Structure 1
Amino acid sequence: MSAPLIAGVELGGTKVICVLASGPNDVRERVQIPTTTPDETLGAVEDVLRRWSGYDALGVASFGPVSLDRSDANYGFITATTKPGWSDTDVGLRLAKIAGVPFGFDSDVNGAALGEGRWGAAHDVEDHAYITVGTGVGVGLVLHGAPVAGMTHAELGHIRPVRMTGDAWRGSCAFHGDCVEGLVSGTAIRARTGTAAQDLAANDPAWETVAHTLAQLCHMVVLTGIPRRIVMGGGVMVGVPQLLPEIRARLVASLGGYVAAPGLMPIDRFVVPAELGGMAGPLGAVQLGVLALERD
């Protein structure tokens, strides 16, 4: 039986990627659209969905925060976002009306987590976490092959970590100051050092704080009891080869032997780099469509 053909939409803060695909080896078309105003952006996505034909389902992975409670009147909406003009915007239901097929909707981070779980670095485990470290920090949790959500989706990038001894920088998060995102995101690194993460020297002392803070985030994720693997991606993780080994070492030290699950070791098989790059989100949207078909 052939895999279903899915229209996948990853709605990001700067661009939208639409794919017509059944998987990474069968991408029929890829369309990129700039994220401007809601009507202009979503109108362009609607034009793509009208032009495409023959797809079995629609999957939408959106920047957020987003409403994921199917019983809420605002299900499928972007809620109180910091992106100007996008708060209280209907994304999921608006696009679903155009597509006229079963549809799945989730956060962009959960979408990327699903992509890495189906075709990427966590394809051989059923339960995993995906951590993206870029302009912001997000965590997607996947349990038994499906994204975890309750009242809302996870916002674990905004937990408050144990600070590194001697580090009193106030952080850059507009809401929480020195949460994980406020300490290690690309925005935070630039605010702290005056240099973009991709241009920061590999031996800059700021990376020590980044590694410490991300190890604290991984410590918390491990203690949820969910992931059999942690996949780490995003622009800050790319091009800094010493960062992942340092995170692993600091995670082991932080856990202090408390978690004795056999899957935790060797640590370089538990905390791993993402494999799908920029296609994790669009392919995750495809997987959301697959899950919608299974659900409906």
Structure 2
Amino acid sequence: MRAVAVSAAHHLVDVQVPDPQPGPHDLLVRVHAVSVNPVDVQSAGRGPTGGDPKILGYDAAGVVEAVGPRVTRFRPGDEVYYAGDIRKPGSNAELQAVHENIVGRKPSTVDMAQAAALPLTTITAWEALFDHLGLTAESTGTIVVLGAAGGVGSMVTQLAKTRTKLSVIGTASRPESSRWAVDMGADEVVDHHQGLAREVLRLRPDGVEYVFSPHSAANVGEFARLLKPFGHVVAIDEVDSVQPLKAKSIAWHWELMFTRPMYAPEDDYQGRLLDEVGRLVEAGQVRSTLVTRLGPLNAATMTEAHHLVGTGSGSSIGKVVVTI
């Protein structure tokens, strides 16, 4: 099969590799579309751990071509979407073997590209809100969503507005980013470049209960100011110290959507999660965050996609998708 891989020289290259063979619980998926996330760009920058090129890519949508002997949830011909497993060859290929437990049924009301924009950011947002923060349909208060126009921020906003009673304050620094965040459901938007804590406290003088953060390193002190005592931060990036949060007993949560595939492969939580979000998409309660379509899938197109996405600096809006 044809695929796009990262070489030892950190370049994206076209390769031909043997077709993957599905394991007992695997689906063999013919990939129709993939989306690009900052983690793809970061992985390309690191290059492969060995000498052979490594196939990158996580988000994908496609059609099941074959199933392993122990698969129970899917059959050939099913349309699916998923975010993959960081330990295995990625989705930037014509075919991919993926465990059925982390696969959802593609929403019927969107095309393959629109579906491919969803899985990684949706799982990240869902686990952040409902697993780490423990939010429910009756939860109230305010959550500040940093990078509200980005892929994950867009899904955090949509799910918070769809499945809780929270008010959402998004952060954005450009007019087009602010408009996107409002379109996603943000009740208010602040420019974090004007001082994050100052701008949030201007709207909520007593502080807020929750923060979702993909941009933590320079903001821990700001979080300590804008959060109420016993508030919560859920972060998807790295930071060296959260010491400023101690005085208010503010809780810090890490979210990594690859944790379940790595440590609990027998758990079908993420597959069921994607099925539920698929129903929300079909009901018109959640929308795809696809903004840019590129194609076909080859090294030149993927290099362009990586350039557009960058490394998650917060300047991008929505998702970039490459169709095969």
* Greater fraction of residues in helix: 1
* Greater fraction of residues in strand: 2
The bucket for the TM-score relative to the shorter chain is 0.3 to 0.5
